[in-house]
Every structure is written in C-alpha cells, then in structure tokens.
Structure 1
C-alpha cells in the first residue's frame, strides 16, 4: 500500500476520469463536488486534516456516517445520497485497483430506496407527550436546553442543520418568530408556537450562566457541555436517548429528522393545508411535502367504522 493524502488522491482520480475514462468536464465536476463534500464532513465530524489524511485510514464507518447524515442531517433525497455513494465507490475502487488501498470501504454499503414509497416514521400525540415528559424527568442540568431543542423540532419542524446554526439574535420575541437562512441559503421565517417560545425563554437563564469558548459560541443559541456551539452528533445522540427513556416504539429509529416528520404529520392532520406546510418546512418542491398527506392507523380504522351497515 502506498502513502497518498486525500487531496492528492482526488487529483489522481480526476486525471484518471479525464484521460482514461474520457468523462466530460461536467461529469468530472460532479465527482469532485461529491468528494469535496465528503472531505468537509471528515474535517468537521472527525477532525481530520485533509492535507495529511492518508486515504488508507478512511474506513467504512466514516463513509456510512456521512451517507446517513446526507439524508438525516442535510435533508437530501435518497437519489442524492445514492449519487454520492456511487462517487465514493468509484473513487475507492480506483484506489484499490492502483494498489493504494487494500479494500473498498463502500463495498458493503447498499443504495437507499426511495422514501416516497413508504410513509414517514413519526411520533403520534401520545408518544410526543411521553417523549417530552422523559426529558423533564431525566433530572439533567441540561434539561432546559434539551427541552428547548426538542420543542423547536416538534413545534417548528426545523432541520437539525438549521437548529445547530441558530444564533441568539435569530429569535424575535416581539414577533414570536425565528428568521434564519436554511437549506440552499434561502431565508426562512418560522412563527414560534408558545410552547417553543416558552421553552427558549426558560433555557436562556441557564444559557447565560455559561462562558462561551469562542466567538462563534458567543453568538450560538445552543451550547454544548464543552461551551461550544452544540454539534449535530450531540443532538442525534440526545434524541435517541430520550426516545429510549420514553419507551417509544422503534426508539432506535427516532432521529431529529423523525421529530421534523412528527411536526409535519401532526400539522397536516390538523390543517390539511399542504402549501402552508411546504412553506414552513422550507421545501422548494411540493412533491417532497406530499409524503405527509398519509393517514395514520387510527384515522383508517375510524374511516372504516364510518361505513354504513348493510
């Protein structure tokens, strides 16, 4: 196996795509983009230095986590996730054929099935109450913070990437709303439910007792126990912990994105207004929002019971 840094490996792969495979500039740029996104993920989530990172040290776990977060954190479609998987698979297969790495870390990773073929997982109102009670009863010094975070998911439908990037001055208490830049750098305006607003206000005295670690943390709404802006990974672990504490069915499958599904599903059940839901979720395409027009089992049973006796 030869020593090759991540950046140098990308340069070598790019030359191969152009000179040997004869790919167009557009296709090569797609590969480079996907590999750059993966590189930034390694820097942010695994604290890697890409100028020094040897490609032989990239393993299946890191690739798998990246591809999971593409959907769970970045809110990408399964198709986008699959394209990135294909780019990474081609990249590592090239390195394997060149005897730079021994094994392709993507070999056992499967492509995603389209999410439009199944209903989204979400908490019903009863489980939502149990989930929030579990946070209150956990007796943690971070209770007010965790409650505010989860109520923002459940009452505002924020993406996890949007929530971790919230700053103190994004909250408009007079207008009872939040305004920030969401996916695609689009400005988003979200009215705050009283439950979420109250939870934020209850958290602020605890937030103000913390001395932020750096300038970014001074602006951040939510801080970690390291006195930095809270991370995506910390929130993901938190959500699973409280789902298990609450005894929620399929607790291992409950993620921040599933809490966003909960907000969307319950709001649609109450309003039946797809356009409002599209706007609140920040979807550019209403077809993405249409997965929430499903009905739950109780609604189906009720509908059947309404059928007349013959």
Structure 2
C-alpha cells in the first residue's frame, strides 16, 4: 500500500482541495474504497490538511500491519483490532492518546465501509455513555447531563496537566534569543495563545490592519485581530488580542527587516508574498522551523521548550486572571470546552490583575 496527496488540480464540486490523501496498491492501482472515505467523508469531518495527513498515515500504518499479519481488513475481527491496538502500545510505544486517535479513525472508516456494504459488521462498535457537565446548582441542573459515544477499545489515558514557563524561564529565554523574528513570534504566542502553525502563517494583510488599528486606538488599548479561518485549526476563524507595544515592534520589523526578504521572494516566485514571515532565502516561513528553533534554544539554556508551551503559559495566566473558561475557549479556538478545562487545575496566583497588565508583564520580560 502506498500513500500520496492531491495537488491544486484536485477539486470536489469545483472547489480545489490540496493535500487530500489517496492510496494505491503496490502496482499503483487506486484503492477507491479507501480513497472515497477521505474525499466523501473525512474532509467534511476534519477541515485541516494536517489532520488529513495524520489520519492517512494512521490508516496506512494499520493497512501495513494487517498485510504483514495476514489480516484481511474487510473481514477483520474484534480480536484482531485488539491485537493491532496492543501492538501499537507495546511494540511501537505509542502514547495512549495517539492509539485512541488511531482507533477512532478506524471506527469512522469501518462505519463508512459498513454503510456501503463493503464489510458486513463494524468490529469497533460504539455504545452510549452518560456523563455530567460541571455546572452551578440550580433547578435546571438535570439539563447538564451529557451523552457521548465511546468504544470498547479505548485505552485509559492519564491526562498530563499542561506545563508553562515561569518568569525566570522566560527571562532566560529572552536573553538567549538572537533572532528578532523569533523574539516577536514568542511574544505573540505568549500574548495571544496562538499555535505554532497560526503564528507562522500570519498574513501580512492582518499585520497591516493591526498596525492601522493600533494607531487609531492609541497606546493604552489592546488591539483585536481576527485570525483567518485558513490558518486556524479546524478551519474556524477567531479573535485574539495583542498589545500595542508588540504591534509597534511588528511595524518596525515590517519596515526595516522584511523588505529584503520580500525582494528575494519576488525574485523567486514572481509575485508578492501574502505571508508576513519570510525566510532570508525568500520563502514562506514553516511551522516546523519554528519548532526546531525553539527546541534548539531550550537545549542551549537547559530548559524544556516547545512552541505549544508558550500557548499553555498564556492560557494558564489568562484563566488565573479572569476565571473565564468560556472566554479562554474562544481565545484558544477549542471546539470543545472540555479541552479547555485542563487550565482550571493549573492556574497560578493572580499576580497581574488584568489582561493588559499581563501584556505589559510579557513586554517587560521579552524585549526585542
């Protein structure tokens, strides 16, 4: 089984879809029963090409395991699903959360195959479970009962509480950074809680608007920016807030540093760039590069660092300040508030008082 991904020439109902997975056998014959699952089902369920890629590799891993073990996926049994799950845990040393993700994708695939009579029975059956959402006690408390679907193959996960940076660690990080671009990207992640892909792919037009809005609002106001859907996980736009000070630093970077990168981009691509961050070679900056730079910085100063930890730091402080879980969910772009509840257990002391004060605190710690 081989895996490939579509380019800009692939479209559905006239809409181009780049990065949709498609499978071929060893003789490069299309596997329509599998490919239709992605083109007709999964791209509606998950909007992110990165998610499609992850799901595709998980399915590829399963099909290769099945082939190596003489398992026909069209007649697979529950015992064989258990064997695959245990192999993933014990032989591959995958995290329980990763294994659960793989099993969930398999369930969606087998649901689809069963509906189309490709298989007779879905080996991964779901059953309804009951839970209770945390809520204030009132006469409508019964309405907070929730129902969800789970399957018998789910591995118990020990939820690890999010780790965040202390002020001392942020000071060490700031003092070790040599790149003005990296300093700005870290400031934005700390102030807005952006993911690495979101901060890496900020459009230049968005930065221009933020600069214009900052001058209109004045130095004592936070600037609201609307992240476009195409750079957000799940394809859902959201609003975040950035400090006036950081916007002014972005303006300075745009006027003094970026023009040389734009010049090289134009020479290479024969058009103007839409992305704000560009490399010195005139290419769009990639999220993986941000991870590499942050990880190398951490190794240099002896601190466990990754881009997501800056997002955790923002979220932990925001909840400490406001106790507003719903507001934090919107700022982080979580589709389910249950994902956001991890910050209820990690709130630090309220040292700042207001979000604007927190931004001033970050401004003091991370200079550029």
* TM-score range relative to shorter protein: 0.5 to 0.7
Q: How many angstroms does 1:218 deviate by?
A: 1.4
Residue 249 of structure 2 is aligned to residue 199 of structure 1: yes
Instruction: Decide whether aligned partners of structure 1 residues 118 and 208 sit closer, same or farther in structure 2, where only a CA change above 3 A counts.
Output: same
Given that residues 156 and 193 in structure 1 are in contact (C-alpha distance below 8 angstroms), is that contact kept between their aligned partners in structure 2? no
Instruction: Decide whether aligned partners of structure 1 residues 216 and 272 sit closer, same or farther in structure 2, where only a CA change above 3 A counts.
Output: farther
Given that residues 191 and 241 in structure 2 are in contact (C-alpha distance below 8 angstroms), is that contact kept between their aligned partners in structure 1? no
Higher relative contact order (CA 8 A, sep 6+): 1
Corresponding residue to 1:165 among 189, 201, 215: 201
Matches within 5 A, 1:48-127: 87-97=59-69, 108-113=92-97, 117-127=159-169
TM-score, normalised to structure 1's length? 0.62
Given that residues 223 and 230 in structure 1 are in contact (C-alpha distance below 8 angstroms), is that contact kept between their aligned partners in structure 2? yes
Q: How many angstroms does 1:158 deviate by?
A: 0.8
Given that residues 320 and 348 in structure 2 are in contact (C-alpha distance below 8 angstroms), is that contact kept between their aligned partners in structure 1? no
Instruction: Decide whether aligned partners of structure 1 residues 110 and 216 sit closer, same or farther in structure 2, where only a CA change above 3 A counts.
Output: farther
Q: How many angstroms does 1:224 deviate by?
A: 1.8
Q: Which runs of 5+ in 1 are unaligned?
A: 19-23, 42-65, 67-82, 300-310
Q: How many angstroms does 1:122 deviate by?
A: 1.3
Corresponding residue to 2:181 among 132, 139, 145: 145
Corresponding residue to 2:277 among 222, 227, 233: 222
Q: How many angstroms does 1:98 deviate by?
A: 7.0
Identify, as 1 or 2, the structure richer in helix: 1
- Residue 239 of structure 2 is matched in structure 1 by 189
Q: How many angstroms does 1:150 deviate by?
A: 1.0
Distance in 2 (alpha carbons) for counterparts of 1:270 and 1:195: 21
Distance in 1 (alpha carbons) for counterparts of 2:158 and 2:175: 32
SS of the equivalent of 2:238 reads: strand
SS of the equivalent of 1:190 reads: strand
Q: How many angstroms does 1:123 deviate by?
A: 0.7
Q: Give CA-to-partner distance per residue, 1:232-279, whole Å, 9 cap, x none.
A: 11100111122233432xx2xx21111111111122122222122111
Q: Which runs of 5+ in 2 are unaligned?
A: 5-22, 72-83, 98-155, 214-222, 351-368
Identify, as 1 or 2, the structure richer in strand: 2
Residue 184 of structure 2 is aligned to residue 174 of structure 1: no
Distance in 2 (alpha carbons) for counterparts of 1:183 and 1:130: 30
Instruction: Decide whether aligned partners of structure 1 residues 164 and 5 sit closer, same or farther in structure 2, where only a CA change above 3 A counts.
Output: closer
Instruction: Return the index of the structure with the highest Cα Rg.
Output: 2
- Residue 24 of structure 2 is matched in structure 1 by 8
TM-score, normalised to structure 2's length? 0.53
Distance in 2 (alpha carbons) for counterparts of 1:296 and 1:39: 30
Distance in 2 (alpha carbons) for counterparts of 1:269 and 1:223: 35
Distance in 2 (alpha carbons) for counterparts of 1:39 and 1:191: 27
Q: Give CA-to-partner distance per residue, 1:145-184, whole Å, 9 cap, x none.
A: 1111111111111112212221110122233332222222
Matches within 5 A, 1:23-42: 41=53
Q: How many angstroms does 1:289 deviate by?
A: 0.9
Given that residues 151 and 195 in structure 1 are in contact (C-alpha distance below 8 angstroms), is that contact kept between their aligned partners in structure 2? no
- Relative to structure 2, which stretch is displaced further, 274-283 or 88-97? 88-97
